[in-house]
Amino acid sequence: MTEFRPSRFEVLPTIVKNLLIINGLFFLAQKSFEGPGVEFSFENVLALHAWQSSLFRPWQLVTHMFLHGDVMHIFGNMLALWMFGSVLENLWGPKRFLTFFLICGLGAALMHLLFLSYEMVPLMKDYARLMQDHTANALFFFAQKHPGAFFHQSDLANLVANNPNDTQALNQLFESVSSYYDSSLNTATLGASGAVFGILAAFVYLFPNTYIYLYFLVPVKAKWLGIVYFAWELFSALRNSAGDNVARWAHVGGAIVGLIIVMTWNKKKRNTFY
């Protein structure tokens, strides 16, 4: 069998349908609470934050999966959830599929937090050292290790470099660095991508020879698409490029957790591939 085609009545199973609805409602609520004068922030309360952040709450490990940044973000995740998740729910049933979805999301969140914590520790140490040594030299040493600290502040930085005794300019630059630090520490992570990558990994494992049509035109077997996609996410995570605001390690973590679960569940049926 080279391709899996769900029958007509299985196209939108119960859990997938409800996940689509819940994500849609959360997205509408997010947009309703945006803008000036709105005190409640969905992202501050429900999106995932680093353990070191004052905004971190345990429930964010789950709630972040139901928030999205923009229309394209939620559209891409929900499309993948429907395309691949429907097949898995039809195969496993609603309870097992929901369990799988949540565990993949949790695993993705934990891996993301692990690597985020690893990245935050040097920043926190350098910032604490900077606060103890309130000098221009310490400030520029911090900026060398964390280039984003002087983002959009090149003129002010040049002013301080040429005149280190300019107290007003120096304090302004310190405020800029403090804003950068707070922003880095309190960055929100949101989206169902980690759980969706787990679903994709399970689909590729169970149905490696199923054809997926890229842009609805180009047929590619699921196994090749899965391998290339995972390799790209892993490469991007290891490269850790500046300006990349995608939680790559969450994607990698979700895929790994999903693969481990489906291999465990399928342990007694090792030769069952479609």
The yes-or-no verdict on residue 39 having pLDDT over 70 is yes
* Element holding 106 (H helix, E strand): helix 94-132
DSSP-derived secondary structure for 144-175:
HH-GGGGTT-HHHHHHHHH-TT-HHHHHHHHH
Closest CA to 22 of 63, 56, 72: 63
Are 161 and 192 spatial neighbours (Cβ–Cβ below 8 Å)? no
Residue 3 placed within a domain? no
| 3-class secondary structure, 59 | coil
Q: What type of residue is 170? A: L
Q: What is the pTM of this model?
A: 0.83
CATH of residue 44's domain is: 1.20.1540.10
CA gap 210, 4 in Å, rounded: 6
Count how many domains the chain has.
Answer: 2
Average pLDDT over residues 99-107: 96
The yes-or-no verdict on residue 87 having pLDDT over 70 is yes
pLDDT of residue 122: 87
Residue 2 placed within a domain? no
Same domain, 109 and 37: yes
Are 129 and 138 spatial neighbours (Cβ–Cβ below 8 Å)? yes
pLDDT of residue 241: 53
CA gap 17, 96 in Å, rounded: 15
Residue 274 placed within a domain? no
Average confidence score pLDDT of the chain: 84
Average pLDDT over residues 261-268: 85
Residue 106 placed within a domain? yes
Are 100 and 214 spatial neighbours (Cβ–Cβ below 8 Å)? no
% of the chain exceeding 70 in pLDDT: 83
Token digits for 140?
A: 């520029």
Domain boundary among 169, 185, 201: 185
Are 180 and 53 spatial neighbours (Cβ–Cβ below 8 Å)? no
Q: Which residue range forms the structural domain that includes residue 64? A: 8-118+187-269
Same domain, 62 and 154: no
The yes-or-no verdict on residue 35 having pLDDT over 80 is no
Token digits for 143?
A: 């900026």
In this structure, of 32-36, 55-59, 63-67, 88-92, the range with the lowest mean pLDDT score is 32-36
Residue 128 placed within a domain? no
Are 162 and 155 spatial neighbours (Cβ–Cβ below 8 Å)? no
Closest CA to 42 of 184, 190, 179, 181: 190
Are 31 and 172 spatial neighbours (Cβ–Cβ below 8 Å)? no
pLDDT of residue 13: 93
CA gap 74, 91 in Å, rounded: 25
> Higher-confidence residue: 133 or 27?
27
% of the chain exceeding 90 in pLDDT: 42
Binned at pLDDT 50, 70 and 90, residue 147 comes out as confident
pLDDT of residue 180: 84
Domain boundary among 185, 204, 223: 185
Average pLDDT over residues 229-241: 80
Same domain, 15 and 83: yes
Residue 126 placed within a domain? no
